[in-house]
Structure 1
Amino acid sequence: MAGNECGQNKSETGIVLGFVEEVEPWHLRSSQFPSKVGGKPAWLSQSDLPGGLELECEKCHLPTALLLQVYAPILGQDRSFHRAIFVFCCKTPSCYSRNDNRCFKVFRSQLARKNDFYPYDPPPDEDPKESESDALKSGIKLCGLCGCIGPKVCSRCHAVNYCSKEHQTIDWKAGHKNECAGKEQTCSDHLNTFIFPEFELVTEPEELPAKDEKLGKTPEEKQGLELHPSDDGSAMEEKELQDMAMHETEDSKVFQKFKLRTAPEPEQVLRYCRLGSPLWVSSEHIPKDKDIPKCTCGARRLFELQVMPQLLNHLHVDSPGDSIDWGTLLVYTCEDSCDHGNKYSPEFLWKQDIGGDGTD
């Protein structure tokens, strides 16, 4: 994932699109600096990880799960030679009320090229043949369920760590109870249903259709802009069309723009453009400058990336009642990408849902 500002990208729009792709698990380990969806976090800095209250949903106060992480170094800025954005979200469907961002958490981690955790040279593009472990090289033990800091340990086998009592209970019921026989093991071998399905995020620059084409217009949509016979053979009067256009709401215009812009690449799950502008799904609930809190260093937070609703198709979260849902998620990060050493810096997420008369 390119971490340059929008104007420096070579694509026509300066926007990088992200798509999910299945790969072998070793591609998604920390040593490969991945961009990915779901699974356990591939932590960048291996010390000073966020945990506890920092990763709790502010509505139900349960631990959140990794939604995605984006590797986004900033060219020319040594302290951001390695840089990643981590987005976590709650797994409780009822927490997803309209335009409410309290069930999301965002963190930024960055390292210089010379650092305490990784070689100076890029990693080889081959399987390192290392066994995966629920512990970092720094010695920090990770939760066997979600991959975050795991200060608690199973009192029976003393081999599996957990971030919370809730995750220990989930893992116990899911199968650890049957596996836990006091023998050495690094994590439960049963299916982990807490984390989201894991994919690599692959990217390509956004390219618009040729200038003489209607962006994203289908033949049927183009025909709808002209007079055409109805089923009974009569023609719709031009005045009627003009009246329909006048009654089109601002919100529907914004949503139509969203659909037309994404139509050439309907499978996109991410749009990246640091210091650029997002693609809104609604004219409602668009933040003003005062709505985006400044970074802890005092600098402004500016737009960096947005998560698209198409990602929901890959997460297996549909349910008859409440469901994990969003129109789009906008991530704002420190304009200066300030330096906090090995610590993870909290950033800000704005949730925008599709317009309408929805209520919390």
Structure 2
Amino acid sequence: MANLRENYNKFIHFPSHVAMGARVELGFVEAAPGWRLRSAQFPSKVGGWPAWLGEAGLPGPAALSCGRCGQPCAFLLQLYAPLTGRPDAFHRTLLLFCCRRPTCHRPAPAPGPLRAFRNQLLRVNATYPPEPPLPPAPLPAGPPRLRNGAALCRVCGCLAPKRCARCRAAHYCGRAHQKLDWAAGHRRCCGAAQSDTEIPDHGFLFPEYEIVIEPEETESSDSEVFEPLDEEQLEAMAKHETLEDKVFQKFKNRIAAEPEQIIRYCRGGEGGPIWVSGENIPEAKDIPNCLCGAKRIFEFQVGKLIPGYCS
């Protein structure tokens, strides 16, 4: 999760990866130039097209479909979170996708409207040099492409196994995004020389921002964020306080120092998730093991997002 960009710009070796888990780190959104949010800069970001880390094993359209409505999920955010002492995860990015339909986010049995993926690479790999990259080149026009030449969807930036049968230059993840692009303007320029470089706003992607990471400050105590109450008020609260009240108050108290946080990261540490509600808190038996059989651990949670996002 350590921000490597300053070291890249100084042309020095990759720094030692920060051991995560001993402390909670918070993520905040900031505007950033486009080049800093591309794959070669190993960004943490929200919105826009996903900045895929590796090129092999990327999820296809079926894996990125909403479990409720079946429509393509939109890229929500990604975190660059390498693991100390894991050569296979020298580079590691976690990506979240979600359905854009609010009704799909109502409580219901799985499968749901969220999709999570992991990209990771060795330090020596076929995509990036083992040493810091040169200063970024100008961003190419048109939709993103993987370095191996594989096309990505003009609408969502995910793998695009289909393309326009007429111009054969516009690529799509599936029929739904082909129809969306056609209505947004591709029908007017299909077959023209610029058809693969001029991409309209489809209203599908979330606004793009960088996620900056800072350690959570713990000096302030819980009492500092409350207004003083007299003894009578405290007695009344004690009599009527429910478990739900306690859970929600703990949540408000913890985030009050940094209300603009959107990420809380603490892989396997004591700073596990903080719950906004006492309802539907999963027990250990409710969390399925990994495909390898190992127990899953908490790594991060997503909180309030900027305007224009689901939360």
Structure-2-length-normalised TM-score: 0.88
Map residues 1-360 of structure 1 onto 2, 5 A cutoff. Answer: 1-2=1-2, 4-7=19-22, 14-98=23-107, 102-124=112-134, 126-131=135-140, 133-211=143-221, 214-217=223-226, 221-222=227-228, 225-227=229-231, 238=232, 241-276=234-269, 277-308=272-303, 310-311=304-305, 313-314=306-307, 316-317=308-309, 324-325=310-311
Say if 1:153 and 1:160, in contact at 8 Å, map to a contact too. yes
Map of 1:345 onto structure 2: none
Structure 2 residue matching 1:244: 3-state secondary structure: helix
Say if 2:169 and 2:196, in contact at 8 Å, map to a contact too. yes
Deviations 1:229-282, CA, capped at 9 Å, x for gaps: xxxxxxxxx3x6424322111111111111111111110000000013111111
Structure 1 residue matching 2:223: 3-state secondary structure: coil
Q: One-letter code of the match for 2:249? A: Q
* Structure 1 unaligned residues grouped into runs of 5+: 8-13, 228-237, 318-323, 326-360
Structure 1 residue matching 2:298: 3-state secondary structure: strand
Q: One-letter code of the match for 1:77? A: R
Say if 2:180 and 2:202, in contact at 8 Å, map to a contact too. no
Runs ≥4 residues deviating over 4 A: none
Say if 2:92 and 2:118, in contact at 8 Å, map to a contact too. yes
Distance 1:99 1:241, change over 3 A: farther
Say if 1:47 and 1:140, in contact at 8 Å, map to a contact too. no
| CA shift for structure 1 position 48 | 1.8
Say if 1:157 and 1:184, in contact at 8 Å, map to a contact too. no
Q: Distance in 2 between matches of 1:20 and 1:73?
A: 20
| CA shift for structure 1 position 192 | 3.2
| CA shift for structure 1 position 103 | 0.1
| CA shift for structure 1 position 97 | 0.4
Instruction: Tell me the percent identity.
Output: 47
Moved more, 134-143 or 194-203: 134-143
Say if 2:186 and 2:195, in contact at 8 Å, map to a contact too. no
Distance 1:61 1:188, change over 3 A: farther
| CA shift for structure 1 position 112 | 0.6
Say if 2:76 and 2:97, in contact at 8 Å, map to a contact too. yes
* Structure 2 unaligned residues grouped into runs of 5+: 3-17
| CA shift for structure 1 position 295 | 1.3
Map of 1:233 onto structure 2: none
Say if 2:273 and 2:301, in contact at 8 Å, map to a contact too. yes
Distance 1:90 1:191, change over 3 A: same
Structure 1 residue matching 2:123: 3-state secondary structure: coil
| CA shift for structure 1 position 130 | 4.3
| CA shift for structure 1 position 210 | 3.7
Distance 1:100 1:282, change over 3 A: farther
| CA shift for structure 1 position 70 | 0.3
Q: One-letter code of the match for 2:273? A: P
